[in-house]
Amino acid sequence: MSTNPSRVDGGELIARTLKAAGVRRIFALHGGHLEAFYRGCREHSLDLVDFRHEASAGHAADGHARATGEVGVCVVTAGPGFTNVVTAVASANLDGVPVVFIVGAPPLREAEFNVLQGGIDQIAMIRPACKWAHRITHGERIPDLLAMAIRQATTGRCGAVLLEVPIDVLHTPVAEADVTRPSGLGIHPRPAPSPGEVAAALAVLAEAKRPVILCGGEARFADCAQALASFAERVGAPVFANPRAAGILPHDHPLFAGESRNLAALQIGGQAGPDVVLMLGAKAGMFVGGRKTAMLPAGARLIQVLAQPEEIGRLRDIDVAIAADCGSALDVLLADAGERSWPDRQAWIAQVIGVRERAAAKSRELTAEHGIHPYQASLAVAEVAGSRACYVLDGGESSIWAASALRLDGPGQFATAGYLGLLGGGMGQAIGMQMARPDRRVVQIAGDGAIGFHLQEFETMVRHRLPIVTVVLNNRVWGMSLHGQQILFGESYDAISRLSDDTNYARIAEGFGCYGETVTRAEDVAPAMRRALDANRPACLDVRTDPTVVHPVMHGMLRAGAPGEVVIPYYESIPAR
């Protein structure tokens, strides 16, 4: 920081702009390119949370944003610091999570000098993976460009953005009189639907015999949970949530129908599916069944509310298209719905909620022969931790089992892999979530494959005194990989999908200073979870689960539907020709 009051360096400008934007915490890993920024953070009392790997710092900013609904910030150094964080950028952006990434870079004045941690065009590399990216070339422009980055991340469809600040731009003082203003930091537009769109949507809902509301990630960041509950109650529509919107209604709300895949269970069970679906902040694709019609029946009328107009109508025609903020749309819909009379839909509601209840009851009966059943382990953990806890799921098949066992009181209590299909993000997400919600306990449930990506962050948890409980569902295999191979090629087949039988993750965590415990019997999971919570420090339970248990979803993803079809693992099969 310059000692001349009429001049100021880039580190000071970044720190004071972030503070003006309401940011109080930055997730980072030290790098010499950013020394001026670290000093600026100290001068402005910004909390720097340091990690052992840049990817975890990025995932923590993501987890913090999911928990708070506000922008997360991650700052890492140039070269390998940048490349290590690319996965976190892509994951946050695909899931519509508002995160600002700031990365260092070699000096502009030494371009093409073959310098340390240079030789790559960081902005060119990251542009396809984020919502917006820019290289700052003049220090006096830092405030307005950083403000622009924050607006890009937090308005419209939220997403990840990246600013590159070369070291000479960051460290060289500039005249205070030349510094730009960080304009637009308080701008949070909430575009609303037109009167015609509202009337059309309500007309379709009024004519419906079997309406449902399907919520996605945009609804979570629209701060619309209360309006959603009131609207669903007014029109009599059960509410489903995909993983991005988990917790948008409390688990015990009489209209909460559970996970989005419960929609498919209606038709699979031989019952009539919905005839109208209000897709609230949910886009077409993997979380609504792709081109298949199990979740969204072919004959159902669709109302889609999204901030991204270009996304509306992807894969399916839409009967009523509304390009708007989900919260604003609900406010107007609710106001106009109050002026209408609505049919009694209790029989339909009971039918839909019954599907969720029967699935839960059936899951409770699951048992395993060669270890603890992953659902039973997850259920015991969730029942002890309770619905006030925050949950992070990290894994493939293990996360599918765990998701069905959770009970959430509200939004911001859940994070998991999304469209990127990420493994290894859980450690960072759990840390970011615990920092954001110190009044609640954070529980990470991870597969033993996923937990191996960033075991070193147990030390970060200990150093920052974060009482996160990590539950490793340890089946000694890459479960989704092995089970997929066996479905495709027979039970005797496997290729690079097995892990060591001897790895004890509880002992590894103890080595970092955590509380650790190994659990081998189903009846011991709940008592061990209570002890882990009571330890009031970072903890790890190594729960030995049955490697032969296969989730039914796997069969749906890996079996051909007709003779001659070519099975493409995890995607649509190719029809026979």
Helix (H, G, I), strand (E, B) or coil at 570: coil
Q: In whole angstroms, what is the distance from residue 524 CA to residue 514 CA?
A: 20
Given the residues 11, 31, 53, 54, the one annotated as active site: 54
Helix (H, G, I), strand (E, B) or coil at 115: coil
Q: In whole angstroms, what is the distance from residue 322 CA to residue 235 CA?
A: 18
In b/e form, how buried is each residue of 9-34, taking b as 16+ CB within 10 angstroms? Answer: bbbbbbbbbbbbbebebbbbbebebb
**What tokens appear for 111 in the block?**
């371009």
Contact 288, 214 (CB under 8 A): yes
Given the residues 40, 59, 117, 118, the one annotated as active site: 117
569 Rama class: left (phi>0) / alpha (psi -120 to 50) / beta: beta
Q: In whole angstroms, what is the distance from residue 364 CA to residue 103 CA?
A: 47
Crossing angle of the two packed helices 426-436 and 54-68, in degrees rounded to 10: 40
Is 33 among the residues known to form the active site? yes
Q: In whole angstroms, what is the distance from residue 395 CA to residue 451 CA?
A: 8
One-letter amino acid at 486 equals Q
Burial of 556 (0-12, 13-18, 19+ CB in 10 A): middle
Contact 73, 80 (CB under 8 A): no
Of 248, 303, 301, nearest to 279 by C-alpha is 303
Given the residues 421, 511, 561, 564, the one annotated as active site: 421
- Residues 6+ positions from 513 with CB-CB distance below 8 Å: 458, 459, 462, 537, 538
One-letter amino acid at 113 equals F
Cα atoms found within 13 Å of the Cα of residue 468, Cβ hemisphere only: 34
Q: How far is CA 357 from CA 215, 229, 348, 552, in A?
A: 20, 20, 14, 18
**What tokens appear for 324 in the block?**
């708007």
Is 434 among the residues known to form the active site? no
User: Among all residues, which ones are annotated catalytic?
Assistant: 33, 54, 117, 421
